[in-house]
Structure 1
Amino acid sequence: MAEATERYAIVTGANKGVGFGVVKQLASNGIMTVLTARDEKRGLEAVEKLKECGLSDLVVFHQLDVTNPASIASLADFVNNAGVFGSIPNPEAFRAASEQKPEEVDWGQVSTPNYELSVECLKTN
């Protein structure tokens, strides 16, 4: 089981640009990071670049399209089954969202608790 002092991060759109730089900085500071990208090939190429910097032990890839509820649910399953501390604040709303078309989802039910938890996390850390 992971130590409670370990830190984890998920970075969206991380195969290039600012997202890639954020992953590199987080991993350089010992934070286990999930690099996500819509394009699996580009995401895996980004992980290879980080391996060249010696950061491969701290970076894992997961495909993610933030506009696709099934893709979001897949990432949630990945994280929640990885033994990483944390949870989805409103799992019922999250699960319901993954079964609907994006335009049918009440995103306030899904995103507001996540936003509020993020603010609390930033205050804590």
Structure 2
Amino acid sequence: MEGSTKRYAVVTGANKGIGFEICRQLASNGIVVVLTSRDEKRGLEAIHKLKDSGLSDYLVFHQLDVSDPSSILALANFVKTQFGKLDILVNNAGVPGAIIDGDALRASGFGKEGAQVNWSEIMTQPYEVAEACIETNYYGAKRMVEAHIDLLQLSDSPRIVNVSSSMGKLEVSTEFID
């Protein structure tokens, strides 16, 4: 897989959703992708799904927990040893900042015209959840950039992409309520 013309990418939180599709798109364009996931089993399942679609030459799995600095450093060392550089870093891993009671949300009529939602009955935000949100969504992305910046600087056209959503807020978004 080595070679000066090859391009290499790391995608965090890539075992499902947006991260999974980013891996598919990058690999489909001939970029070697390190698909990462906190959960090794789910990450390997994602790799197998993508490899079954003919992308086996472009995919590598590496376990990664972005809230663990030693896990980030292990990934950076892996990338350095295997590829010698990094062209694209996609920080996609994220966790929600609050816990939503799905049954209470459905019972509230959320999304229906005229529904009055009492968020204090639907949402809770334990300290541990808020802390995990900040540790993963902010510090995880920050540490990933710090750990990989030297490898990115070896690329002819380095890219850092940070993916985020309202799920990472430390509050419930009411932007969808009219």
Determine if the TM-score, normalized by the shorter chain, exceeds 0.5.
yes
Structure 2: runs of 5 or more not aligned: 87-134, 160-178
Aligned pairs for 1:1-125 within 5 A: 2-82=2-82, 84-86=83-85, 111=146, 114=149, 121-122=158-159
Write the letter of the residue equivalent to 2:84.
F
Higher helix fraction: Structure 1 or Structure 2? 1
Give the TM-score of the pair, scaled to structure 2. 0.50
Aligned to 1:93: none
1:57 Cα deviation from its structure 2 partner: 1.5
Cross-structure match for 1:97? none
Pair member with larger Rg: 2
- Which amino acid in the other structure matches residue 111 of structure 1? E
Higher RCO, 1 or 2 (CA under 8 Å, sep at least 6)?
Answer: 2
User: What is the deviation of 1:40?
Assistant: 0.2
Contact residue 8 and residue 85 of structure 2 kept, 8 A: no
**Where does structure 1 differ by over 3 angstroms across 4 or more consecutive aligned residues?**
110-114
Q: Please provide the CA RMSD for this pair.
A: 2.9
CA contact (8 A) 1:4 1:85 kept: no
TM-score for both structures, normalised by structure 1: 0.69
Question: Residue 52 of structure 1: CA displacement?
Answer: 1.4
SS in 1 for 2:54: coil
**Shift of the alpha carbon at 1:61?**
0.2
Q: Is the contact made by 2:37 and 2:64 (CA closer than 8 Å) also made in structure 1?
A: yes
- Give structure 1 stretches of 5+ with no counterpart: 88-101
Deviation at 1:75, TM superposition (A): 0.5
